[in-house]
A and B are shown apart, each in its own frame.
Chain A
Amino acid sequence: MSDSLLWTELKNGSQKALRDIYDQNMIRLESYARKFTQDTELIEDTIHDIFIQIWEKREGLGHTDSIIGYLCVTLRRELIRRLEKSAKTTGFEYAENKDINFQLSAEDLIIEGEQNDLHSVKLHEAFSQLSNRQKEAIFLKFYEEMNYDEICEAMDINYQSVRNLISKGIIEIRKFLGTVLIAGILLLGY
């Protein structure tokens, strides 16, 4: 069933639709949340509250063709709000450093086939060179399969910035890999 159809069924009060949305997206939501915090209880509470919220406010929900996109945007906003709040009350490091970072290590990348061949070693290295924002944009694009508009909303930056983060990220990886000569030439003209 397409996302927009499933979403419409949810809006019409289908409990099965809510369950399907949960089943299809829960793991990807948790995987995203874990890039911000390892506090399982907090992640669980936040996901719980988001599902309660979409259920209780279902009639007022807008239309969407990408449920995971909608959920990720909501999750990120809510999670960061709570992390900031707890940082303030406990007076820990977050208070000064307002940005709560997306942390993704190269080990989170899985490469099909041989784990230890040169290509995968280089890819891991290349990926770890990227900035946190580049990693997040690439993660949202390739793992959560979100479109540019959704990534803009999630990361709260404009369209062009998202495009730049992703295309420069990809070019940087390619440059690092050094396997494609053309990519190097292109960088000059970029």
Chain B
Amino acid sequence: MPMSHNDLHNFRQGLLENESFIRWVRSEFREDDEVWSVFIDQNIERSDEINEAIRWIRDLNFAHDSRIDKDRLWERISTSASLKPAVTERRLSGMRLSYIATALAAACLLFFLVFRSSFTSVKVESGLAQEVAENLPDGSMVHLDAESRITYNKKKWSTKRQLDLQGLAFFEVKKGSNFIVSTPEGRVTVLGTSFSVESRHGRFEVICRTGRVEVTSVTGGGAPVILGPGDKVRLENGQLLSSLAKDGVRNEITWLDGMYTFESAPLSEVTLELQRQFGVTINLPADAEKLTYTGFFRTTDLDSALLSVTWPLKLKYRTEGKKVEITQ
């Protein structure tokens, strides 16, 4: 059915004035991902108009105009509101005075020894059985799994959004310049999206939840891989192997919900994960290390996690405090 000019106008104009659509385009197609992706699929014959609306929204883009020192203003606010000091400082005040004195002396020494700029390096770490969520200077979010660490340069962040990762982390990236996650195995470059990166014991895996992510292997194994929502890439024998959502399975980032999944993984890798998540030590008989496990465990309680790992492999386990013994 041919459309009147008025319909055509209203369709495009309607999109242009829809704040949810605007937010979606502004966030590089992140928020309300499902809703608008489905909408576009259902209106495939109107993709020209949709694209025009997208272009308009991108054109009506305004520059940030900010000169206030953000950290200083925050300090003023938190003093006026008499907020308690941040967590890290609170921990400090709980420490014994002598520790503080030692730490201060060490800090002074470092000041003279180390080049000044290294003080702008920020490290965020999570311990055993601990998850940490942290805002980055541009409002992007990082969610660290247990025993993981990121480091970045706070001063350079406004010009270069780059951080080093060890362990497993999920990122929600605010739209802006390139955002780079470096690991010993590969580099992940994004424009504004959410995704998870794991880099541990030579294992490297990236799952994209929304938006687009580009992954390059450090060893230069093949061309960069572009991931869309639900796509996953893994490093195997120096090659990037991808599993794409369009081929059937949509890859989910399950660890954020406390679920750890494995596919033909060596049992030793699974027990390492259990150790990290529950802060226990696990004793595994040598001949069981070669077993492979497919399945998942949840971090809600240790007992059921151990059961879901050992039962399919016909293994037994015994716990004693923070020690776990797995037997045939």
Contact = CB atoms under 8 A, between A and B. Distances in A.
Given A15-B84, A44-B73, A109 B9 contact: no
B81 interface: yes
Interface in A93-113: 104, 108-112
B58 to A, nearest CB: 6
B80 A31 contact: no
B59 interface: yes
Residue among B23, B59, B74 with max Cβ neighbours from chain A (10 Å): B59
Contact of B61 (A109, A141, A170, A183): A109
Contacts of A56: 81
The main secondary structure of chain A at its interface with chain B is helix
Contacts of A40: 67-68
Contacts of A55: 77, 81, 83
A18 B84 CA distance: 12
Contact of B17 (A24, A34, A112, A167): A167
Given A30-B65, A142-B22, A19 B74 contact: yes
B62 interface: yes
B68 A43 contact: yes
Contact of B60 (A22, A47, A48, A109): A109
Contact of B81 (A30, A51, A170, A186): A51
Given A30-B68, A110-B63, A111-B61, A22 B77 contact: yes
A84 to B, nearest CB: 22
A109 B68 contact: no
Contact of A139 (B9, B23, B62, B66): B62
A110 B61 contact: yes
Contact of B62 (A48, A109, A146, A185): A109
Interface in B1-49: 5-6, 8-9, 13, 16-17, 19, 22-23, 26
A142 B61 contact: yes
What is the interface residue range for chain B against chain A?
35 or more
B76 interface: yes
A20 B134 CA distance: 10
B59 A111 contact: yes
Contacts of B322: none
A22 B72 CA distance: 12
Contact of B80 (A27, A48, A111, A189): A48
B224 interface: no
Interface in A136-153: 138-139, 141-143, 145-148
Contacts of B116: none
A182 B9 CA distance: 8
B17 A141 contact: yes
Q: What 6 pairs between A and B have smallest CB-CB spacing?
A: A143-B62, A31-B65, A142-B60, A27-B66, A30-B66, A147-B19
Interface of B: 5-6, 8-9, 13, 16-17, 19, 22-23, 26, 56-68, 70, 73-74, 76-77, 80-81, 83-84, 135, 139
25 contacts: A15-B84, A26-B66, A27-B66, A30-B65, A30-B66, A31-B63, A31-B64, A31-B65, A44-B76, A48-B76, A110-B62, A110-B63, A111-B59, A112-B58, A112-B61, A141-B17, A141-B19, A142-B60, A143-B62, A145-B22, A145-B26, A147-B19, A170-B17, A185-B5, A186-B6
